[in-house]
Chain A
C-alpha cells in the first residue's frame, strides 16, 4: 500500500537518500534499520512531506503523495511518532492527543480512539492534565505514539521509539508495538535497536549511507552474517 520508488532526497548539496525503494503492505510491520546518519529519519520525513524528494515517487494505495502538502498527507492516512518525539511541551497530555486528531472531523471516532490510546497507555490517562514537557522520557514516547494513533492512520511511522529508554521500558514499548500490529495497524518501524526490531517485524530493510543494502524477511536478515556483525554486535 505504501510504496517508495527510487526516492532521492537532498539537504542542500548533501545527497541523503540515493534512490530508496521500499513497500509496506496492509497490516505489516516493516522495519528500517541502519547506523547513525544512514538516512532513516530522512526517509520518514520524506514520506510525511516534511522534505521533498528531488526524484522518485511515493504512493499510498496508488495515490501519488510526492506533491501533496505535508498537512494533507496526514489526512490521507500517514502519521508518525517522529525522531526526538516532538511533543508539545506546554500543552497538556490531553491537548497533545487532541492535536493528533487535528485533521479529523468524526467526533465519535476521535473519542473512541482517545479511549483506545488510554487503554494502550494507561499511564497517559493518569497524566491527562499534566503539561507534556513535565513527563518523563518514557511517558513522552508514549505520548508521541498515542498522538500519532489519534490520527487513526493507515500507516504508522515510528522513528526510534526505544531511543533513550531503560531496558524495561524498551520491552514495554515493543510489546505495545506488537499489540498495535495485532489490532491491525500497519507500521513502518525505524530502529537502531536492530535485534528488537527484527524480532517483531515481518520484513526489514537495511539502510547504509542513503542506500538500501539488504532487504528480506526479518528472520533471514537476523541470520545474515553482515547484519549480525554490523547491527547485532555479534562476532
Chain B
C-alpha cells in the first residue's frame, strides 16, 4: 500500500475551483500523517498544473477529447491517472463532476466511498470520514479499513488556504490511450439568463423556501420584501416548482450571495443552500422546526410560523 492521497482537481472557465484547493490542503495533511505525498490529477487544461504547488506531483491528462468535461472521458482519464499508483485515498468534491465520478470510480477501482463528507482523519491505517446526511440533520462517522478509499467532500468543509502554496510539483503528463467512440459528447453550454434584479448585488435579501407551501403565498413574502426595499430570493425547490425564476435561486446550483442581511423563511438549511449564503453578514432565519440545520448557521432565529410572522413584519416595516 502506498500512502499517497490523490485529489481530483476541477477547473471552470480557465481557473481551478475553490474546492480543489480545499481538498488539496487536506490531502497534504493526510499524506503527511501517513508518510505519503499529495497528488493532484488534472484532466484538461494542463497549463493549470503550475498553480497546484501544494501537491508533490501533478498528473495531467490533456488533449482534444478533454477540452470540455464529460463524465465518460473524464472517468477514463482519472482511472488512467490512478493506474497502478494504489493511493490510500482519493478525494473529490460533491460538485456535478464529483457526483458523476465518485460513484463510478468506486465501482471501477473497487474502493469504498463515503459521500457528503465534512471531515476526514487518519486513524492509524484507517480512514475515518464523517458524512452529513438526512439534509444535514445527522452525522455518520464511517471507518474504512480497506487499503483504498474514496471521499466526496461538501464544498466549504476545509479551508482553502493550505491548498494555495507556491511550489514546483513534478508534473507527469499522461498520454491517453486511443479511446473508442465517446458515449457522452459535449454539444454546447448555456450560461443562465440574467434576471430582472441581480440578487448578488444587493445589501438585503429576503429568501423563501419550501415552507411557504404554495405559489399564491409567495405574495406574503413579496409584501414584506417590498416594505424593506429588498428583492426576494429562493431555495431550489421553490424555483423547481416554478414559483420564482431561476435567477432568484441561491445555492450550489444557483447564485452565491453575500448580502449584509439575509432574512429567510421556511428554508431548512441543506448544505447545497448554505453553500450559496453562509457568508452573509447577518442571517436571520424563521423556521418552525427548532432542530432545522439552518439554526446552526443563522445568527438569529425564530420558530414562529412564517404565516404569523410575515404580516407582522410587513406592518412594522411599513410603519
A binds B: no
What is A's interface to B at a CB cutoff of 8 Å?
none
What is B's interface to A at a CB cutoff of 8 Å?
none
